[in-house]
Amino acid sequence: MLNNRFFWLLLGLNFSAMAQIKYPQTREVNHVDVYHGVTVADPYRWLEDDTSEETKDWVKAQNVVTFGQLDQISSRDWFKQRIKTLSDYEKLTAPFKKGDWYYFYKNSGLQNQSVLYRQKGLEGKPEEVLDPNKLSTDATTRLTIFSLSKNGKYACVGLSKGGSDWQNFYVRDMETGKNLDDELLWVKVSGVAWKGDGFYYSRYPAPEKGKELSTKNEFHQVWFHRVGTSQNQDLLVYEDVKNPQRFHTVSTSDDEKYAFLTISDRGKGLDGNALWYLSTSAPGAAFKALIAEPGKYHYSVVDNDGDLILVETNEGAPNQKIIQINPNHPEKAMWKTIVAEKKEPLQGVSTVGGRLYLNYLKDVSTQINICDYQGKALGIVQLPGLGNASGFGGEKEDKMAFFTYSSFNFPPTIYHYDVAKNQYKLFQQPKLAFKPEDYVVTQQFYPSKDGTKIPMFIVSKKGLVLNGKNPTILYGYGGFNISSMPTFSASLIPWMEKGGVYVVANLRGGSEYGEKWHEAGMKLKKQNVFDDFIAAAEFLIVKKYTSPKYLAASGRSNGGLLVGAVINQRPDLFGVALPGVGVMDMLRFQKFTIGWNWIADYGSSDQPEEFKVLRSYSPLHNIEGKKYPATLIYTADHDDRVVPAHSFKYAATLQKKNTSDKPILIRIDTNSGHGSSNTAKLIDLTADMYGFTLFHMGIK
């Protein structure tokens, strides 16, 4: 069969060859669920068991077919080598200071994991602190957390294996550079909050053996670990057995005077959080409520100003404001607004040198405003251009800080910032094997179905001809209050070198224009997100950037759901679909790992009204006998966030019901998770996506 297919490829009859694909047989079972009187079949329910031999055999058989097809696409090798070449430049993160030491991450070019270094002073000689590449034979163990104690004597080191969200925490003596015997297991959704020679962290009880990657995660607990002791000696600080699907995380103020407990209950559809505190200097002190119960609003501690606590919140301010709370008088009547809500949404706040750096978003570009702890305006930071900036973090006594700026055609560049002068100078700029100025970024606004103006970024080589034949990837996310920011990636360059266009649509459901923008794309209004994406495709076609044959829909995670829903609703708009690690079964997502955490954004099939909406767009449940575009579904065996069963059941259904001669392939990575677990795997995946896309657009 393969030889025959290769013969046809030599004749150039690519699509006829692909039409001969023989998919693995996927056994069907007579399983039905009843939701509020509605019967819903689930014939591939058995694929949810990721530990069964039958599922493992199915995965192997699908990969044989998929890679058998991908191996015939010669451009994959060109893309892979070109991405490697263009990505092979030194990448550094902005340094962070602790005592006399500056810490930073560095990737020499194509290292699978970035390496952590430190140096004394800005002119000191860098010394290696930790190289994750040495921790596993395939370099899929990641450094997830490196958190230094206040005095810099100890560090908590978090490691994740094979792409899983599970982490193990270790403690390192920074004077000797050696790990102590401390090992903390089953850590997930956790920070590290230091208090003296110990820290608060969050974990789950140990899951059932063999079900670590699929079992629903419940009963999140907060513990305190003292350096030099075993985990079984840790002190249980907080748990809530009456609410098993709540998250509990702790942070401490810079001066370690306060510990703050954040409690969220998204499993009940609550998008906000509770906020508690304790005075760490009081022996035996218990947490007291500032905000007693999770609800509609968000509360995030910025810092303390002596005995007063500064909090970012959207209560009474959909675009966020900063308030001051006196813990001795926490009643809302005593709250004081120090930074009022603006037209632009506030994305976050960092602190350094006794100043607040407020990160606003203006038409999907960063704007940095400065004020003191009493809210007095101290100016703005004049950034290099319209793009994405982050950093400006440090301690109250610091006089200097760093920030990173980037855009689609501007590589991440680090600047050294003088707090008192509000001025900066170039600190580190990547040396690239191509000229970013050869590429152009434009921002367009287009009308969605209901007339709402939606922004999009369009990236291409200069001199693009609008002839309707440009191969175009349209990317979207649209959910969870997350903005799709202008971000540089060297891997985009090979796509554009081949004449490709890359488009990011800033759909509703994100945070581009604040909480109202988010709410307009969640729960019962989720269809707005799909309408926004469809309208983006139509805009690109009308303006002759591309046409359906040359247009690919791309998204991952919540964006994978987006692609699955959109090609069900408008398969005629796209020649290719690239849904990655997607939430495809909208009726059962809450049954696995931390899927219940998404109810606040999606709603739940347990609620009659929400079930009706979820059923109306669920990618798995709306596949019909239509002519679908060439589709490359991708997932990974260690994805314990969006479990691969979503993609397994979706692929099996789409392979059965597709009536076009275009292939439906599923690419299942091994020893990888929700994101590629190392650089090599990410390059391979990207090359496969580009090669598959061009091949099925008929572009040689």
How many of the other CB atoms lie within 10 Å of CB of 2? 10
Q: How far apart are CA 204 and CA 266, in angstroms?
A: 17
Burial 176-209 (b: 16+ CB within 10 A, else e): eeeeeebebebbbbbbbbbbeebbbbbbbeebee
Give which of 524, 510, 508, 515 is closest to 315, Cα–Cα. Answer: 515
In 231-354, at which residue ranges do the beta strands (DSSP E only) sit? 235-238, 247-252, 258-264, 273-279, 288-291, 299-305, 308-313, 321-325, 336-339, 346-352
Give which of 582, 607, 631 is closest to 523, Cα–Cα. Answer: 607
- Reply yes or no on whether 298 is catalytic: no
Q: How far apart are CA 527 and CA 148, in angstroms?
A: 44
Q: Which of 674, 676, 677, 696 is catalytic?
A: 674
Q: How far apart are CA 358 and CA 379, in angstroms?
A: 11
C-alpha distances (whole Å) from 676 to each of 334, 520, 635, 638, 683 are: 48, 31, 9, 10, 9
C-alpha distances (whole Å) from 426 to each of 46, 334, 402, 421, 429 are: 56, 44, 10, 15, 7
Q: How far apart are CA 592 and CA 308, in angstroms?
A: 40
Burial 6-24 (b: 16+ CB within 10 A, else e): eebbeeeebeebbeebebb
In residues, how long is the chain? Answer: 700
Q: CB neighbours of 137 closer than 8 A, spacing ≥ 6?
A: none
Q: How far apart are CA 237 and CA 253, in angstroms?
A: 17
CB 383, CB 463: distance < 8 Å: no
Q: How far apart are CA 575 and CA 614, in angstroms?
A: 26
CB 227, CB 180: distance < 8 Å: yes
Give which of 682, 586, 698 is closest to 634, Cα–Cα. Answer: 682
How many of the other CB atoms lie within 10 Å of CB of 134? 12
Q: How far apart are CA 336 and CA 317, in angstroms?
A: 13
- Reply yes or no on whether 674 is catalytic: yes
The tokens 């055999």 sit on which residue?
57
Q: Which of 75, 87, 557, 647 is catalytic?
A: 557
Burial 343-377 (b: 16+ CB within 10 A, else e): ebbbbebbbbbebbbbbbbeebbbbbbbbebebee
| Catalytic residue set | 557, 674
